[in-house]
Structure 1
């Protein structure tokens, strides 16, 4: 990846939060249908958890806990 295309941690955090919200909406939409695809919902939930872990990691990098 070249430096031009590299995301800063803050940019990545914003992008991941948006993707996380989008997945939440997609899961709700699928679950709201009469006949839902449980496998697809499980895949979306798994991706959402992966995003959540990455978001928490980036938040820790950007705002580390300082014990004073």
Structure 2
């Protein structure tokens, strides 16, 4: 499994970030596309729970993430 960082931008200053584990970049893209225009929920890396209406997002950015150990 690969780890991807997904950032949801609402405007130039406000965003929410989550990390997902899927087998490829394409799988990450398909997941994000399948969640379009609906509510999703997740807990971020700090343990904060989020409920997000993806229809309010202006830009979604996906990038593979490499954690430093």
TM-score by length of 1: 0.30
Higher strand residue share: 2
Higher helix residue share: 1
Larger radius of gyration between Structure 1 and Structure 2: 1
TM-score by length of 2: 0.30
